[in-house]
Amino acid sequence: MITIKSDREIELMRKAGYLVSLMHQFIKPYIKEGITTKELDKLCEEFILKHDGSCSCKGYEGFPCALCTSINDTVVHGIPDNTKLKNGDIITIDVVIGYKGYQGDAAWTYAVGEVDNDKKYLMEHTEKALLEGIKMVKPGNRIGDISHAIEEYANEHHLGIVHELCGHGIGREMHEDPEVMNYGIPNTGPRLKPGMVICIEPMLTFGKRYIYLLDDQWTVKTQDRSPAAHYEHTVLVTDDGYEILTPRLD
Ligand code: MF3
Ligand code: CO
């Protein structure tokens, strides 16, 4: 069931989303060579709790941490540990924060020091693929329009699209209906209505699209070890378009 949020709920989701944005802005200067992903997780957890948020990832189906930290060929759901960031790495920080019962969810990929041109290209065009998807958000359009816009942009830029993972509705729960695939057919799927809130989140690779799951049952990596990027926003359908509830503050 796709829920339509009331004005009161939208106001709370805006606050949850803004807290997600603040946390990304807070952690950015710490993303440097030598810091461990566990240290990043601890800093963020403290930040979230200090701002009256809750760490929705922690304990979600047993996930142990506040953040997903996914380095280089890890696509999503990397578990914070003692791995130190190295110059030239890319790391995706994905977080879901609860605020007064509502969820905000955003991921973006960061460069550690100087990264090579392939990784720069991957990051730039994965974020642009997300923005192409977001541009399709308005009442009357359908989920397939978003999916198709992302697919077309990724194909034009010769990036692999991870098929097994997708975006989702969000509200009181982190994952609600509908699913928002990163490939699809225009004019198919549920129709967008004002008050719906969805997470759009392309996961693109510099090589082939195929992935595998590590034995920890969380970490998803590319089979060919090519780097992957992941950008995600929580997006509200408004009367005439969209509002990004997790705006980038940089
Ligand atoms: N932020 C992820 C998403 O977009 C979910 C994190 S998985 C968790 O769906 F287990 F860490 F919660
Ligand atoms: Co999400």
Strands annotated E in the chain? 54-55, 67-71, 74-76, 90-99, 102-111, 160-161, 167-169, 176-180, 197-200, 203-205, 211-213, 220-222, 228-230, 233-237, 242-244
Model confidence pLDDT, tens digit, residues 197-231: 999 999 999 999 999 999 999 999 999 999 999 99
Tokens describing residue 157: 């830029």
Single-letter amino acid, residue 128: K
Q: Residue 167 in contact with residue 200, Cβ under 8 Å?
A: yes
pLDDT at 250: 87
Arithmetic mean of pLDDT, 169-178: 98
* pLDDT given for residue 114 in this prediction: 98
The mean pLDDT of 12-25, rounded to a whole number, is 98
- Long-range contacts for 156-161 (Cβ within 8 Å, ≥24 apart)? 157/121, 157/125, 157/129, 159/122, 159/125, 159/126, 159/129, 159/204, 159/205, 159/206, 160/204, 160/205, 160/206, 160/207, 160/208, 160/209, 160/210, 160/222, 160/226, 161/202, 161/203, 161/204, 161/205, 161/209
Show me where the domains of the chain are located. 7-244
Query: Whose CA is closest to atom 6 on ligand 1?
Result: 57
Ligand 2 mean position, distance from CA 230 (Å): 10
Amino acid at 181: M
- Taking the model in full, what pTM does it have? 0.98
What are the phi and psi torsion angles at 62 (to 5°)?
85, 5
Instruction: Give tens-digit pLDDT for 131-147.
Output: 999 999 999 999 999 99
Mutational test site, ligand 1, from 103, 174, 199, max ligand atoms within 8 Å of CB: 174
Mean pLDDT of the chain: 98
pLDDT at position 53 over 90 = yes
Pocket test for ligand 1, best of 44, 48, 76, 103 (most atoms within 8 A of CB): 76
Domain over 7-244 is classified CATH 3.20.20.70 = no
Cα–Cα separations (whole angstroms), residue 151 to 13, 107, 230: 28, 19, 14
Q: Which ligand is nearest to the CA of 65?
A: 1
Cα–Cα nearest to 250, from 111, 136, 129, 117: 111
Residues 106-140 have pLDDT tens digits of 999 999 999 999 999 999 999 999 999 999 999 99
pLDDT (tens digit per residue) in 56-105: 999 999 999 999 999 999 999 999 999 999 999 999 999 999 999 999 99
Residues 37/111, Cβ–Cβ less than 8 Å: no
Ligand nearest to the CA of 198: 2
Residues near ligand 1 with C-beta < 6 Å?
57, 60-61, 63, 68, 77, 94, 96, 105, 199, 201, 232
Instruction: Give the pLDDT confidence score for residue 70 in this predicted structure.
Output: 99
